[in-house]
Structure 1
Amino acid sequence: MQETSPYLPFVRAWKDVPAFDSDEAEARFWQAHQLEPRLMQSSLHRSDVRESTTITLRFDPRMLSRIKRVARRRYLNYQSMMKQWLSERMEQEMKEG
């Protein structure tokens, strides 16, 4: 694998990255270009650092077992997966009014 040279031209905006027709074409492009550090930083996902409140929910044991099974198949923590599901549903509810 070739290391990034400090002399490669910078990609300063995502619109400057072409659509690639193959993995090889993409590899050639990135061997000849590098992302500008600010563009890379701006693309990083920022975690939600707001305070959270702990709650208690009572589930039927079979349902909780099924939820945990789904989470394991997705390589997720079941509580994080449930939080994601609730967040997605809230977004849907907010859009629907």
Structure 2
Amino acid sequence: PSGFHIRSLESRDDADEMNRVYVRCGMVPAPTDVLWDNHRDQKSVDYLVAVRDEDGTVLGTVTGVDHQALFSDPEAGSSLWTLAVDPAA
């Protein structure tokens, strides 16, 4: 697909935009400070956003969790959580 790109969280504003998408999808938002602090301090969690190339609008989000880094998973697994796409995107 064209017209958007995927990147990691870059600012608290991105975390606010993640929450906007969560709410539009009927999901429970997370405290912005928690998202931002996890992004900076937790190597086991990676927040990704899909951003429209044209205007920088956050269209969607997903959270990646590295199980090995988080709890020494012997299978070295990972998972995706909170996948959400703005219904208006």
TM-score bracket for this pair, using the shorter chain length: under 0.3
The structure in which a higher percent of residues are strand is 2
Larger-gyration structure (1/2): 1
TM value normalised by structure 1: 0.22
TM value normalised by structure 2: 0.24
